[in-house]
Structure 1
Amino acid sequence: MEVINEKVVRTDNTLLAITHLTQLLGYAIGFGSLIVPLIIWLSSKDRVEGMDEHGKSIINFQLSLILYIIVSIPAILLLGLGILGLIATGILGFVLPIVNAVRASNGESPSNFMTIRFIN
């Protein structure tokens, strides 16, 4: 009997951590913080254990950051509150991917702090 389309699922915490750290590309080169993790997630979500959960978390977090930025820009006219929102978004967008990369390398679930669930 022949086995066709057998899916081999492997544990690769390093790839999970790297996927979280690719969110920092936006700070390094100005773009790629959503596209690169999306490509990694879509290409390996069936082959790496935990990639689906971490990938959804990354995409939800990046979409949440984009939404926070879009809301903060007009809020600059309201006594400068948007500037505080942009600063908080910048700090959150830098710190949380690092925290989640450490959690992924330890085999833990990602933190969903300040994340709106767009994809379940």
Structure 2
Amino acid sequence: MTDPNAQPPVDPSQNPPQAPQGPASGQPPYGGQQPQPGQPQPGQPYPGQQPPAGQPYGQQPYGQQPYGQVPPQQYPYQGQQTGAAPLTQAEDKQWASFAHFGGALGAFLGAGMAGWIAPLIIYMVFKDRGPFTRQESKEALNFQLTVTIYVIGLYVVGTILALVLIGFLLYPLAWLVGIIGVIFGIIGGVKVNNGEAYRYFHAIRMVK
């Protein structure tokens, strides 16, 4: 006997099994979308976009690698905040070399007594905007101040001793000191322009 309440058997030919629902062919798997061509992958910055802090992207900014004898610095330059924009690497090297070249030009035009003017101006304007400019303008300033002191001293002593007719012998020595200021100022400018720190053979360190 058959049970009148039993379900009739299912004919597979009439009701084929349904395939599980899923992504259509060519569609990305569940949980995401396929990125379009030209779009960056997740976690990668767009071209020109700054990476997150601590994750370098492309070339490292100036200041992480030292040049010459200047210790590495993180820009903005960690000096006194003046509100002015920090110098770039090229500008920092350029103004540092101008301090030496300007000292040589001032020594030449001022007969050894005006070489300190250009380094002083550059030091006062750019000392807080670039570490290389600060270092080299201070070095040039100390050297040219030393040359100026020696030249003026020789002229003064020579003038006093001129009363006994031997002071005029010190004038050529004063000219020689002025020429030394010109020559070594040019040498310092060339060295610094090549990215090398320069230290003069003698200078009174008046500016620390």
**Length-normalised TM-score, structure 2:** 0.48
User: Residue 93 of structure 2 is aligned with which of 10, 13, 17?
Assistant: 13
Aligned to 1:58: 140
- Which string of whole-angstrom CA distances, capped at 9 and with x for unpartnered residues, describes residues 84-115 of structure 1? 42132122111011000011112212222221
- Give aligned pairs, total: 117
- Which string of whole-angstrom CA distances, capped at 9 and with x for unpartnered residues, describes residues 48-84 of structure 1? 2311111111111121012101221214635655234
Amino acid at match of 1:55: S
Aligned to 2:108: 27
Counterparts in 2 of 1:40 and 1:48: CA distance versus 1, 3 Å: same
Q: Secondary structure at the match of 2:188?
A: helix
User: Residue 179 of structure 2 is aligned with which of 75, 87, 91?
Assistant: 91
Counterparts in 2 of 1:56 and 1:90: CA distance versus 1, 3 Å: same
Q: Secondary structure at the match of 1:50?
A: helix
Aligned to 2:154: 72
**Paired residues of 1:10 and 1:47 also in contact (CA < 8 A):** no
Amino acid at match of 1:71: G
- Which string of whole-angstrom CA distances, capped at 9 and with x for unpartnered residues, describes residues 28-62 of structure 1? 47785322321111111121231111111111112
Amino acid at match of 1:54: E
- Which string of whole-angstrom CA distances, capped at 9 and with x for unpartnered residues, describes residues 1-43 of structure 1? xxx9697453231221122111213424778532232111111
**Length-normalised TM-score, structure 1:** 0.77
**Paired residues of 2:142 and 2:207 also in contact (CA < 8 A):** yes
**Quick one: distance in 2 between partners of 1:70 and 1:32?**
11
**Quick one: distance in 2 between partners of 1:39 and 1:89?**
23
**Quick one: distance in 2 between partners of 1:114 and 1:29?**
20
Where do 5+ consecutive residues of structure 1 fail to align?
Answer: none
RMSD: 2.8
Higher RCO structure, 1 or 2 (CA under 8 Å, sep 6+): 1
Counterparts in 2 of 1:29 and 1:117: CA distance versus 1, 3 Å: closer
Where do 5+ consecutive residues of structure 2 fail to align?
Answer: 1-80
